[in-house]
Every structure is written in structure tokens, then in C-alpha cells.
Structure 1
Amino acid sequence: MIVSRTKIIVRLALSAASALSAASVAMAESSSWFSRDETTVPKLAPSLKKSAPEREAPAPKGNGIGTTIPSTVPATGDDAAYTAFDQGQYLTALKLAQAAAARNEPQANTLIARIYAEGLGVPKDEKKAFDYYKRASDLGDIQGTFALGMSYAEGKGVKKDYRLAGDFFEKAALTGNADANYNLGLLFLNGTGKPLNPIRAFQHIRYAAEKGIPQAEYDLAELYQSGTGVDANALEAAKWLSRAADHGLAVAKYDYAVRLLQGFGLTADEPKIPALLKSAAESGIAGAQNRLAYVYLDGIKVKKDPIEAAKWRLIAQKNGFEDKNFDEILAKMSKGDRLKASVEASAWIDRIAVDPEMSAVP
């Protein structure tokens, strides 16, 4: 029997509260060098606000693999297909899963669907993936049901249909699936595929956040901040934004650092400002790079370092972030300091060019 893996589907359908926070945080930000662009997950709701290009970063690359490692996995055992899959032996995993699927094992169909959906060892085939997700769902696999909702939401292998996506998300959410609750909450929040219902949106997103989904934690923070579906609560907003940052979400690190700088975060977290900004900057967020430049320039929780400040400003500038104020400061620096900062900025940019995944925004 194939053992279900609760995280076989890891993508999230859409991000709504990031659009909400774009409005509320930008309103609180007096400087012209703060804006955002939400690039963390696919955008499925056309009703969401568009935003400024601060967060533009390379889209995560697909992990389709055209060949597979020769198998060393036994062809028997309850978890053999997943063992092969985890080892990158996709054709072996496919063969074992197909045998299990022939015995009507629900989870085996979900595994086969993922292999075809991502083109792992086989040509990518979204229609075939959809058919296997549907069979898995019909047989009762919750991950298959959630993935089926994703297929309808994204129009992969089937015509896009938010109403059907919502139905399958709700079916999976009723079992306690955190990803399904998150996506269902976003549909209620936007009135896309489900009636507009901020209270239900809050309930589902909070459930997902409590289960540890970073994007849900991030969005929940904005629901508390804006008072959407719940009474506004700045302390809860700070707490959940901090949690999303701690869980590695780059945009959350950036936003939380900004709020800490504005005095809206948890006092105990203020020493984290430089580290949060640097991590977000290293992830490729231009606004974080520019903000980090000011942190080094002004010596906020770090020793003043004009050259390091200039370095990050040049990196942000290279990424298209405009800041005439800092550029005037840069022009007044000595030629030697500007040259040193330029060399360090170029080295950083070259390093990212060699390994683009180092700057991928999670």
C-alpha cells in the first residue's frame, strides 16, 4: 500500500493579503523608497490590486528532470514508490505507483499525477496529471482532492474554473488539510469561486496559519492589521508577521523589518532588523536592498558603514529601484569609496548571476 505524504503538494494557489498589505504598509511609509510587488506565489485572482515593482525577483525554476538515476530501490514494500521518488528515481517510482494504482490505491494516483505534472523523468503532461488527480480524489485521497482544486484554479490540464476549485478546496479543507484551508480562505476573501465572506476567509486563513504555513501567517498578519474579517489588532498583526519571517518567508522578513523600523513590531524583535533586511536583500528584494543601505548608512542596530551602504544602494539601483535622495548621497562620497562599493556590488551581482537560485524569493 502506498503511504500518503501530506506534503506531496506544496504549492499554494494565490496570495491575497499581500495585496492588502501593499496598501496599508505603503500608506504608513512616508519615504518614496518603499513599495512592493507580490511575487511569492502564482496570482490567480484578477481582482487583487496590482503593485509597484519592488519585489520583482526571478520566478522559481521548475524541477522537471528528463533522466533518472539507475534504481537501487527494492520493488516491494509499502513505501517503495515514495522511497524511489525521494531518491530522484522517478521512472522507478512511476512503475511502482502504477502497479499500486492498478490495485486502486488512492495515493498512488496522486504520486503518478505529480510525476506527470512536473515532468519528472517523463514528458510533462498536465492533462494526464489532471486525470490521475481526479481518480485519486474519487478514491478518497485528500492530497489528490487538493491538487484537483489547484488544477481547476490554475487551469492546468482542464479549463480554469474557480467555482470547482473552491468545491474541491472545501472538500479537502473539511478534513483539516491546511493548504486547502488557506486557498479556500483566499477565495472567500476575494469573492472568487466562493461568495465574498471576510469572516470565513479569516477563519480558514487563521487555521492554515496555526498549522504553520508561512504565507498564511503573512496574510493573517494583514487581516489583523486591516481589520478584515476580524477586529483590527496591531499586536496580533506583529506576532503573525514575526512568525512568517521566522519561518523564512522573504517578503515577511522585509515587511516585518520595515514595521520594526516604524515602531509597529514587537520591541523584543528590534535587534533583528539588520538580519531580517539582509536576508530579504539576499533573496533579491530590491526594496530590502535599498532599505538595508539606509540601515548601514545611519547605523541602525549596526555599526555605520558607508561603503556597505553604498554597495546595497548600487545593487538596488541595478535592480531598478529608484531613490534620488540616496543617489545624491552616493555622488558626494569620495571616488575611492564609490569605487570600492561598486566593486563589492558587482561581485555580489556576479555571484547571483552564477547561481540565480540564491536570490529566488521564497
Structure 2
Amino acid sequence: MLIRPSTSLHRFRLFLLCAVAFTAPAGLYAQTGLPGVDEPVAVKIDDQPAAEQNEIDEGAAAKRGRITPFNGAALPEGEIPPLQSPEEARKADQKALEPSNGVNVLERMGAALPSLPKEKPFTGKADDAYGAFQRGYYLTAMELALPRAQLGDAAAQTLVAEIFSQGLGVARNTKDAAFWYGQAANAGDPGAMFKYALMLMEGRDVPRDKKRSEELMKKAADLGNSSAQFNYGQLLVADMPGEKGLKAALPYYEKSAEQGIADAQYALSQIYLNVDGIDENKRSMARGWLMRAAKAGFDTAQLDLAIWMVDGIGGERNLEEGFKWMLRAARGGNVVAQNKLSHLYINAIGTRPDPVEAAKWYVLSRRAGLKDLALEDFYLGLNDDQQKAALSAANKYRSS
């Protein structure tokens, strides 16, 4: 059975086990300076001692004049740059205080800035039905879309199917939804193809038809539907276990990952790192894709990213960041992360040792069914007060 994105992890990891038994890094800013830059410097004006300079009033300075900024051209022999009048000096100071609008590369090169391209006018016809749907006016959307759907409009058919499927403003009717998804799929709508392919694969509200399902899934994937791309990759891996299937699915995972599907991003990280024959440039991107999946909230990606950072897989070791990602996955309910977080607390990896926190996370993982003899021995070795504190913390965490 095909699983929608973000729920297919266990299946994908099983495929990987059969096959193999980015955010850019923040820039480093170096703070450099010259000796004595921050120290006060004594300068003499005319013949006055440096100690008396602070007593010079602005009027006296203006009377002596200031050298006007010079463009660098050679002056005739004997001439000196002109002096600014007090009023000119005041205006120059005022201008210097004005906020800068920034200087771009073209300005620094002395070239004129190109004019902005004209915005292309929208020549298409606004879809009132989808507009009503997006604003939450579901009955209006249905009234506008249904007549078009009955005339064969694929987009309208998909919208009607979605309204029936979710029961938005009307009674939920999955059979009617399946009918309209089928109509829209036959009319060429990629989103409807994906939804109808899932129904055909599962035999939900329509007769089960694996062959037709795979045909529609591939067609939707080739038309650019990101969810179909990921799921068609899953089909290829299921039909061809091992590296052959993973390599066949790779282009579809890549396209889906680029469109933001976290499951596909996770899949890329595993394939790039573990499958033989992968280009080294792609292999170096494995952790970056894993990071993107983790940031999207994929808890298993968060777990794996924590392990990679602690163990130095796919990049340099970073114990503190590894601990943070393990904590995030554990708080999200990942039982394996809760178990491993306990070990990190015990061994002070990326954090300070904390026996009560370690015991709390062990209790939570044990209650979820994950046994660990080493952690059980650790827990039994705690004193009564520590065990009570850990149990209390675990109980409060579960009820929160």
C-alpha cells in the first residue's frame, strides 16, 4: 500500500536495509583590527598642544576651513584644494548623516543601473471557484465548480472531488470524491491522478487496479506532481529491491526533494551516503538533504541527523548540535531518540551529565515498548530520590 508523504518512513527504511546492510554553513566572521585602533590618538592642529584640542570650538574650526573632498586629479603646481565655507561644511556634515541606500556591484563599477523589467500583465481568467475555496466559502466554490465539472473541466472536477473528500461545506462522501477524482485524472489533472492512483492501489471506493494505479502515478510524477514523484520512487524500490531499484527511483526522489517533500529529502540523504556508484559531489550533499528534512519536522531525519553529527557521518562531528537534534526528535515523540537521548545524558555527550533527565527519557522510551538492558541497569543503580524525581518528570511530561 502506498503511503502519503511523511508517513512512509518505516517502509522506505526497510527498502534501504534491503539495499545496503542545507542550509549553507554560517559564515565565520573574523574580528580583526590594527594595533591602537581603539586607543585615543593625540593630534596637533596648527601649533596648539594636543591637550588643548578639545577646547577648540566649532566656530574656530569652521573659520580655518576644511579641505573639500578631492577627485584625485592632479592640481596645477602651486595650487591647493579650495576651502569649504562654514555653511558648505554644515551641509556636508548633514548629508553624511543621511542613511545610505546601499551600493551595489554595478554602481561600484561605474555602470548605469538597468531598468527593472516590466511586470507581465495577467492575461488568464481568474478562477472564481478556487478563489472562493481559498477564502473558505466552500458552498460557493461547489456551486461555481460543479457546472464546470459536469462539462469536463479537469480543474473544477478536482475541486469538487476535494470538497467531497474532506466534507467541506457538504456531507463527506468518499465515493463521490472518488468518481470526480477519476474524471479529473482521465482529463489530465496531475493532482487528481495522484489521488486516484492511491485509491486504485488501495482499492478504496474503487476496484483495486495496481497496473492502472502505477500508470497514473508515473504520469502524474512526469507531469511534476511532487507527491507522485516520491510515491512513484517508492513503487520502483518495491518492485526492484536493492540498489537497482534505488538508482531507478533516484531521479524521482531528487525532483520531489527539490519541491520540498521531506520524505524525499530523507531518501536522498540515505541513498547518497549508502549506495555504491553515487557521484562524490552528490555524496557530499547527503547531510545537507538530511538537514532539510530535519528542519521540515521529519522526526526520523532529526534522529539520524543527531547520530550523524555525534558520530561524524557525512561531515564533521558536532556533539552539541547532535544533542540538540536528538532532544528535538525526542520531544517530538520519537521513541528511539528518547532512548538515545538518555545515553547522551549519561555519558555527557554534547551536554552536561544529568542522571535524572537520563532516567526520565529512559522511562518514557520503556513505556513506549523499547527495552534497553544497559539503561535498566543504570536506572536501578540510582538512589530512591533520583528514581522518584525521574518518574515524576516522566509523568508530568506525558500529561503535558
**TM-score normalised by the chain length of structure 2:** 0.65
In the other structure, the counterpart of 2:301 is 252
CA contact (8 A) 1:202 1:230 kept: no
Change in CA separation of 1:168 and 1:311 when aligned onto 2, cut-off 3 Å: same
Match of 1:19 among 5, 14, 21: 14
CA distance in 2, matches of 1:109, 1:238: 41
Change in CA separation of 1:23 and 1:184 when aligned onto 2, cut-off 3 Å: closer
Is 1:304–2:353 an aligned residue pair? yes
**Larger RCO, structures 1/2 (Cα 8 Å, 6+ apart):** 1
Task: Pick the structure with greater CA Rg.
Answer: 2
In the other structure, the counterpart of 2:268 is 220
Structure 1 residue ranges without an equivalent (≥5) = 1-9, 28-76, 352-362
Letter in 2 for 1:310: A
Is 1:94–2:89 an aligned residue pair? no
Deviation at 1:110, TM superposition (A): 1.0
In the other structure, the counterpart of 1:118 is 166
Is 1:200–2:248 an aligned residue pair? yes
Change in CA separation of 1:307 and 1:89 when aligned onto 2, cut-off 3 Å: farther
Instruction: Give the 3-state SS of the residue equivalent to 2:217 in structure 1.
Output: helix
In the other structure, the counterpart of 2:389 is 340
Letter in 2 for 1:317: R
In the other structure, the counterpart of 2:398 is 349
Deviation at 1:19, TM superposition (A): 1.5
Letter in 2 for 1:190: A
Match of 1:177 among 225, 229, 232: 225
The Cα RMSD (Å) is 2.9
CA distance in 2, matches of 1:181, 1:241: 18
Is 1:282–2:331 an aligned residue pair? yes
Deviation at 1:234, TM superposition (A): 5.2
Match of 1:129 among 177, 182, 191: 177
Change in CA separation of 1:291 and 1:270 when aligned onto 2, cut-off 3 Å: same
> Equivalent pairs: percent with the same residue?
30
Change in CA separation of 1:274 and 1:220 when aligned onto 2, cut-off 3 Å: same
Deviation at 1:316, TM superposition (A): 0.9
CA contact (8 A) 2:4 2:231 kept: no
CA distance in 2, matches of 1:85, 1:342: 49
In the other structure, the counterpart of 2:52 is none
**TM-score normalised by the chain length of structure 1:** 0.71
CA contact (8 A) 2:273 2:314 kept: no
Match of 2:257 among 209, 216, 229: 209
The C-alpha deviation readout for 1:151-187, integer Å capped at 9, x for no partner, is 2223222122222122112212222222222212221
Q: Which moved more, 1:99-108 or 1:308-317?
A: 99-108
In the other structure, the counterpart of 1:237 is 286
Instruction: Give the 3-state SS of the residue equivalent to 1:267 in structure 2.
Output: coil
Structure 2 residue ranges without an equivalent (≥5) = 22-124
CA distance in 2, matches of 1:268, 1:283: 23
